[in-house]
Amino acid sequence: MNTFNIALIGCGTVGGGVVKILSEMNHTLNERAGRAVKISRIVELNPENAIKRFGIQKEAFCGGGKKLTVDEANSYISDILNDTGIDLVVETVGGTGDFVFNLCVNVCKSGKHLVSANKALLAERGKAIFNAAEENNVSVGFEAAVCGAIPIIKTIRESFTGDEIVSVSGILNGTSNYILSRMIDENLSFEQALTFAQEAGYAEADPTLDISGGDAAHKLIILMKLIFGIDVTMEELKYQGIQSISKTDMDYAREINARFKLICFARHDGDFIYGGVCPMMVKDENVLSGVNGATNAIRVINKYSGKHILIGAGAGSSETASSIVADILFIARYNDRMNRTLPNGKLKFKGLKDYTLPYVITFETEDRPGITGLVTTEIGRQNINIYTVTHNRHVSDKALFSIETQASTLKQINAAISEIKTKGILKCEPVVYPILY
């Protein structure tokens, strides 16, 4: 049995998990790969934590387990790139800077396969990496970059190749989902739920990337590239986080039998791909509404085979590492380029503001007779059909109520709000959220 040699650059939480799985399942994984899969070299600046946490032998590390200077690490990486005996490099360094970008490009240029969980890098600078892989006839495995242990990348690449994906929507950030679940189930404020998420280890000390929708946006960009063959930048993809969701918003969602979720949404309609990331009120009949905690879930709707739901862990050392190992084994066994969607020059990208969705608009107005009628009249003048209007909640001299519309564009919604503002009845800016059935 010949050997498939791997170099690991970075051995933190995820990298250590890769080594652990490959070690504990060595015999089984070798049989699945059809050859011996071996980690030949590990480059890590501070290997002490990995040695203690994962029980990795010191001798497995370049430098024999001692701390490395940046220059020493770069020298070892250069040796790896020049070593024709290394078949694949796993990158778990993270970040989007020039160092990790150049590392990934140079791995491909050296004729070695690349496996990475680096969603931010692939979303923001992946085009050059994929081009380098294409030019040098090597694979880029990135299953772990989107939803950890959920095999969404392989499902799209392999299982759905005989169908046409019409839309994808999902909960792609476990931290936000955990926070929203605590807010809904325990009637907590956002700030309270965020504190619990940090205490439980789901949210970082600086949770900005998760709660702002940025992390989810990176994943959606990768999926849109894979499914529809379009390149979308973070600037083009409008994303909104969950920081502004209040207990009142949660109450109105309950009234229409829905739950708040941070949703990644993309749909092919005619010559356009409509996409975005934002909080949505997800109706109870949609499976995504019942996905709680730090769990991720993706709903794919195909032209011929209909709806498909994938649910599972979206992060964690073992979960993410298992997807990296799956990529390693696939490449080791088949040793060729995995299919990827070719660029589609005909399709154009548009944000969700141009797509028709039902909305909930919450108003805070003066408390006097006829207010609800005035508001609904202006909404109707924008050719927006109204589905339901909630009962007024009277707080001091204010009236609070929400209106559930049928499908319309955000442009229509904003036009109606602009007209309502001219009446001088609003106490504050109306709150608008789309609904997902």
Indicate the domain borders of the chain. 3-150+319-334, 153-313+345-352, 356-436
Q: Do the strands 88-91 and 113-116 form a parallel or antiparallel pair, or are they unpaired?
A: parallel
Top pLDDT among 342 and 238 is at 238
What is the tens place of the pLDDT at every residue in 138-185?
999 999 999 988 999 999 988 998 999 999 999 999 999 999 999 999
> What per-residue confidence (pLDDT) applies to 316?
81
CB 98 within 8 A of CB 121: no
Q: CATH for 3-150+319-334? A: 3.40.50.720
Amino acid (one-letter) located at 19: V
Nearest CA among 22, 298, 52 for reference residue 171:
298
> What per-residue confidence (pLDDT) applies to 345?
73
Q: Out of 3.40.50.150, 3.20.20.140, 3.40.50.2300, 3.30.70.260, select the CATH number for domain 356-436.
A: 3.30.70.260
CA gap 12, 410 in Å, rounded: 43
What is the tens place of the pLDDT at every residue in 222-267?
999 999 999 999 999 999 999 999 999 999 999 999 999 999 999 9
The two structure tokens encoding residue 418: 């602009």
pLDDT > 90 fraction of the chain, expressed in percent and rounded: 91
Question: What long-range pairs does 132-137 form, CB within 8 A, spacing at least 24?
Answer: 132/105, 132/108, 133/108, 133/337, 134/337, 135/108, 135/109, 136/108, 136/109, 136/110, 136/111, 137/111, 137/337
Nearest CA among 270, 313, 267, 266 for reference residue 291:
313
pLDDT > 70 fraction of the chain, expressed in percent and rounded: 97
The two structure tokens encoding residue 129: 């990496």
Q: The tokens 């605590």 sit on which residue? A: 182
What is the tens place of the pLDDT at every residue in 261-318?
999 999 999 999 999 999 999 999 999 999 999 999 999 999 999 999 999 988 888 8
Nearest CA among 333, 344, 343, 423 for reference residue 378:
423
Q: Which residues are catalytic?
A: 219
pTM for this one? Answer: 0.93
Residue 326: band (very low, low, confident or very high) from pLDDT cuts 50, 70, 90: very high
Q: Helix (H, G, I), strand (E, B), or coil: what is residue 220?
A: helix
CA gap 219, 122 in Å, rounded: 9
Mean pLDDT of 27-55: 95
> What per-residue confidence (pLDDT) applies to 317?
82
CB 145 within 8 A of CB 222: yes
Q: How far is CA 190 from the centre of its chain?
A: 21
What is the tens place of the pLDDT at every residue in 387-434?
999 988 888 889 999 999 999 999 999 999 999 999 999 999 999 999
Top pLDDT among 396 and 84 is at 84
CA gap 354, 347 in Å, rounded: 15
Q: Is 339 exposed, middle or buried (0-12, 13-18, 19+ CB in 10 A)?
A: exposed
Mean pLDDT of 31-42: 95
Q: Is the pLDDT of residue 336 over 70?
A: no
Top pLDDT among 316 and 331 is at 331
Fold of 153-313+345-352: Dihydrodipicolinate Reductase; domain 2 (3.30.360)
> What per-residue confidence (pLDDT) applies to 391?
84
CA gap 190, 203 in Å, rounded: 13
> What per-residue confidence (pLDDT) applies to 387?
96
Residue 339: band (very low, low, confident or very high) from pLDDT cuts 50, 70, 90: very low
Nearest CA among 129, 279, 311, 159 for reference residue 227:
159
